[in-house]
């Protein structure tokens, strides 16, 4: 599989030569500075591509766009959406014109990936991303004050949430808001409490069926263009795979994945298979899902989580946690062979080590939450070892 690395552009403290030192050759990048819904101009795409690929000694390529974001109005289904769909399609055409033909995107309303603790302590002094169910409930019930929020949380979680809130300082509450907002990368509005209430209110009355229909509409609008220009679209699962703050999420379960793939039956309509996002779902059998949907996977995120009975979870080591990573890697290598044998010129699957522990010299550095260099380097090395061993034993192409 193609070893890739998420890079946040020229302001990222992790530099392109560091990516090459890690052993990756593909760069996962986006034009985060361009607001949602605005066309990505060819000139800006070419400028970023030249930045990534200009130093031939590094032998890097811009292999995946993560993400070409979807404007919130499309998820709401509000107003005349023609200009937004037109702009999205034009951005796709411009990317394809520049030779960038893999797009990762998500359909999570309002918030992207969500954690309540960005520096949960690890043995020896490292840190990990963590989702505490009681902190989520404290924010939902006592800070956001969402009507009816209590019904969405277990009684024991509500009790801990009340206790946390009662003793929390204003600094604690401010930090929790900041942590929850930190999953929104690049060009975005970080909401304060009133702003978040207003955004959530725009989805009032929408259930999972309604959001599914808006996702299906998006796919019907853009997949024909993807087919036309040779782009493969890979939707990222919800993270965590459950409703948050009363907002529905529809890319969380095996049934969800089957539904969206059936909505528009096209090779261009595929998945970003994220073992960590899916792994946080209590009822998700991630290795089984990998086998079922392997032929529609276009991009792979490999990370692991450890779940707890109250709904909390923490980012684990890449080969630790609840997901059988060896099984998933084996499935993806077998799928690669199937594609290669079928003559698919794009048979090699791009993957990246997703999220990593903050370790060693990275502790305290201003890296994007979840994206320190050393923790991801450790994860990439571990996965590379699994990949090499499995390929050797089974006679599969790497």
Residue numbers annotated as active site: 236, 274, 301, 354-355, 371
What gap in Å lies between CA 266 and CA 233, rounded to an integer? 10
Q: What share of the chain is helix, strand, coil (3-state, %, to 5)?
A: 45, 15, 40
Strands 2-6 vs 26-29: parallel, antiparallel or unpaired: parallel
CA–CA separation, 381 vs 87, rounded Å? 39
CB 67 within 8 A of CB 29: no
CB of 313 within 8 A of CB of 307?
yes
In the chain, the largest separation of any two C-alpha atoms, in whole Å, equals 62
Provide the token pair at 233.
């679209």
Distance from the Cα of residue 393 to its chain's centroid: 31
Written as six digits, the tokens of 124 are: 């020896």
Which DSSP string do the residues of 343-360 spell out, in sequence order? Answer: T-TT-SPEEEE----B-G
My answer on whether omega of the bond before 86 falls inside 30° of 0, hence cis, is no
């Amino acid at each position: 599989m193609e070893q890739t690395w998420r890079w946040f552009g020229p302001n990222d403290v992790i530099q392109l030569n560091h990516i090459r030192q890690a052993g990756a050759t593909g760069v996962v990048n986006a034009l985060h500075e361009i607001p949602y819904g605005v066309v990505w101009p060819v000139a800006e795409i070419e400028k970023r591509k030249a930045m990534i690929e200009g130093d031939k000694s590094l032998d890097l390529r811009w292999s995946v766009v993560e993400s070409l974001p979807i404007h919130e109005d499309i998820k709401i289904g509000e107003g005349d959406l023609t200009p937004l769909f037109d702009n999205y399609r034009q951005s796709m055409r411009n990317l394809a014109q520049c030779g960038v033909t893999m797009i990762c995107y998500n359909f999570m309303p309002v918030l992207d990936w969500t954690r309540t603790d960005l520096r949960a302590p690890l043995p020896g002094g490292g840190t990990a991303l963590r989702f505490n169910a009681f902190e989520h409930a404290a924010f939902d019930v006592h800070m956001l004050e969402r009507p009816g929020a209590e019904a969405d949380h277990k009684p024991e979680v509500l009790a801990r949430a009340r206790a946390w809130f009662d003793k929390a300082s204003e600094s604690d509450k401010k930090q929790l808001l900041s942590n929850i907002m930190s999953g929104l990368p690049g060009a975005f509005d970080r909401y304060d409490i009133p702003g978040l209430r207003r955004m959530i209110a725009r989805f009032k009355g929408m259930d999972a069926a309604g959001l599914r229909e808006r996702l299906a509409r998006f796919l019907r609008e853009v997949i024909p263009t993807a087919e036309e220009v040779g782009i493969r679209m890979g939707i990222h699962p919800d993270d965590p795979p459950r409703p948050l703050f009363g907002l529905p999420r529809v890319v969380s379960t095996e049934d969800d994945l089957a539904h969206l793939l059936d909505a528009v039956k096209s090779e261009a309509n595929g998945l970003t298979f994220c073992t960590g996002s899916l792994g946080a779902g209590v009822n998700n059998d991630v290795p089984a899902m990998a086998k079922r949907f392997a032929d529609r996977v276009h991009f792979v995120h490999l990370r692991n989580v450890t779940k707890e009975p109250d709904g909390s979870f923490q980012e684990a080591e890449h080969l630790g946690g609840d997901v059988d990573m060896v099984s998933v890697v084996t499935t993806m290598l077998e799928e690669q062979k199937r594609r290669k044998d079928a003559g698919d010129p794009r048979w090699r699957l791009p993957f990246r080590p997703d999220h990593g522990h903050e370790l060693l010299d990275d502790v305290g550095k201003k890296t994007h939450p979840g994206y320190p260099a050393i923790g991801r380097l450790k994860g990439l090395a571990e996965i590379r070892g699994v990949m090499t061993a499995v390929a050797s034993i089974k006679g599969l192409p790497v």
